[in-house]
Amino acid sequence: VPVTVGDPTAPAHPAEHQHCRHNPLRDEWVLVSAHRVRRPWRGQLEQPPAEDVPRWDPANPLCPGATRANGEVNPHYEGTFVFPNDFPALQPDSPAPGDSDHPLFQAAAARGVCKVMCFHPWSDLTLPLMSLAEIRAVIDAWAELAAELGASYPWVQIFENKGEMMGCSNPHPHCQVWASSFLPNEARLEEQTQRQYRDRHSVPMLLEYAEQEARRKERLVVENEDWLVVVPYWATWPFQTLLLPRRHVLRLQDLCDSERDSLASIMQRLLIKYDNLFQVSFPYSMGWHGAPTGPHLQEDCGHWQLHAHYYPPLLRSATVRKFMVGYEMLAQAQRDLTPEQAAERLRSLPEVHYKQRRR
């Protein structure tokens, strides 16, 4: 129990007093200091994202018919479009490093495949402005890639960086898919924590967590018959969310048709709320985590639960972001807005996009 002035034994109100919360998925702690959100801000201001993105630009390498850096010309696609990344971080035929001569200087082979997936042919659209049928097509393409690459690779990471603030270099609705010959750090950590939780409690961690959050409601943002979105109890980013299925699902490709339809709906609802928060195309990094694949397809992965992380940086407005520096880099994560406050703000927002309300 945090120490409070006057009565050190009295339980503290989490919205008023600093305290630490445990993240069981990463086995780490976050410092919550809600009183700091009232401090004046004179730090860096960001430029709001441009809203005059052209629908088609021949200089944009993601557009239909555009020429990419390697000289290849995109087809005049009308739906989703997948192609090999022209500057891949992983290649399938990379040689293995030599043996290390000291335990402090270890290296290992890293092979894989990197792909880019365009969601839509129009550059001026983002997922929340796409139709449910178009979002469903994206989900189907995700599942197809996850199954195709997961047939041989242990990990398939689907991720979207939205907005210049998150390093997106081309204004066009798209994501990346990296398949690797190894389990990345986050995957290895979630593998360990979820396995340990099931061994101790005989239930998948995130299945039980979803049930608890659905009952408690205080961090719930949106829900439907198959899915729920919460600001996790242990959130580090200001408006971070976790997208969870209600039933036990290991991988994207395991979703049935109705679950894919309801996933399209809940994604649209969440992303509209994100955009409505500051009436701006909301930047974020998001990604799917599911059970490992490749050789792990033959193993018991029942401790895993499919989920998606959304990590948005904006804190106070469209121009004020949260930076993970100083204490966060050198000690542990710290946040100024409680997850309950963030969830309440998101939950109360309309589910009609602000651009569509202007019409």
327 labeled part of a ligand binding site: yes
Do 250 and 304 contact (CB within 8 A), yes or no? yes
323 is in an annotated binding site: yes
37 is in an annotated binding site: yes
- Asked if 268 and 128 count as a contact pair (C-beta separation under 8 A), the reply is yes
Task: Find out whether 69 is annotated in a ligand binding site.
Answer: yes
Identify the CA nearest to 2 among candidates 26, 21, 19: 19
- At 137, give phi and psi (nearest 5°): -65, -35
Confirm whether residue 161 is marked as ligand binding: yes
Q: Are 219 and 231 in contact (CB under 8 A)?
A: yes
Q: Is 289 annotated as a binding residue?
A: yes
Q: Is 36 labeled as ligand-binding?
A: yes
Residue 240: φ, ψ to 5°: -60, 140
85 appears as a binding residue in the annotation: yes
Q: Is 18 annotated as a binding residue?
A: no
Cβ 90 vs Cβ 178: under 8 Å: yes
Q: Is 351 annotated as a binding residue?
A: no
| Residue 259 assigned as binding residue | no
Active site residue 201: no
328 annotated to a ligand binding site: yes
Contacts 24+ apart (CB under 8 A), 322-331: 322/237, 322/238, 323/44, 324/236, 327/31, 328/236
**According to the annotation, is 136 in a ligand binding site?**
no
Distance CA 116, CA 248 (A): 29
CA distances from 33 to 26, 240, 334, 335 (A): 20, 16, 7, 6
Termini Cα distance of the chain: 51
Buried-exposed string 22-59: b where 16+ CB fall within 10 A, e elsewhere? ebbbbeeebbbbbeebeeeeeeeebeebeeebeeebee
Helix (H, G, I), strand (E, B) or coil at 54: coil
- 51 assigned to a ligand binding site: no
**Is 190 flagged in the annotation as binding?**
yes
| CA 311 to chain centroid | 5
Active-site annotation holder among 120, 172, 174, 353: 174
Would you list which residues are annotated within the binding site?
36-39, 69, 85-86, 161, 167-169, 176, 190, 289, 307, 309, 322-323, 327-328, 334
Would you list which residues are annotated within the binding site for UDP-alpha-D-glucose?
36-39, 69, 85-86, 161, 167-169, 176, 322-323, 327-328, 334
Tell me which residues are annotated as active site: 174
Would you list which residues are annotated within the binding site for Fe cation?
190, 289, 307, 309
